[in-house]
Amino acid sequence: MDTSSLIMGVILLMLFFTPVLYLIFNQSATERKSLKKLKNIESEFKLKLQHKELSNSLVLGLDPESKKLVVAEPQKDMEYDIIDLSKVRDCTVSRNYTGGRSEKEMTTRVGLELLSRNGQEKITEILFYDEDDEHSYDPENKLFLAKKWDSLIREHIPKTN
């Protein structure tokens, strides 16, 4: 093998791996930043988040002892909301879809609605997937996550007599 072939091979290899490595490091840095902000929220409000979920579009944390749910959005500079589960009556997975051949092709929105104890009004909707959001992908995976968090939240909603 001559030197020019070796140099050409190394250049092609670098052209292939450089974008992949950049994406990996960028994603890792974003996750570290989100986790750091979540830890700051945790210490500021004296929470012990035992359940955490980090994704490109949503950061969730649940403190089972104080019955608090932290919802933050990395795309909005980690704007966060702390929801007191003692004020939540029910939690349901909401899923919107349009006509099509299969549900996977039709899903346009997946969310988790938290309903207030004081009637039927929504406290909030935690959006896992939105077809119009460029950071949302894989609606089936997001539906699985919504169902997982639905069961976690339901376990920690205080029962009324």
Between CA 154 and CA 82, with CA 62 as vertex, the angle to 5 degrees is 100
Read off the pLDDT band of 22 (50, 70, 90): very high
Given a cut of 60, whether residue 161 has pLDDT beyond it is no
Q: What is the pLDDT of residue 105?
A: 59
Residue ranges covered by each domain of the chain? 3-156
CA distances from 62 to 7, 34, 43, 139, 146 (A): 52, 15, 14, 23, 14
Give the end-to-end CA distance of the chain in Å, rounded to a whole number. 80
Q: What is the pLDDT of residue 100?
A: 62
Give the pTM: 0.78
According to DSSP, the residues that pair with 124 across neighbouring strands are 114
pLDDT in tens, 59-117: 999 999 999 999 988 877 778 899 999 888 889 998 887 766 655 557 788 899 998 88
Whole-angstrom distance, CA of residue 3 vs CA of residue 10: 11
Q: Which residue has the tokens 């001559």?
A: 2
Given a cut of 90, whether residue 147 has pLDDT beyond it is yes
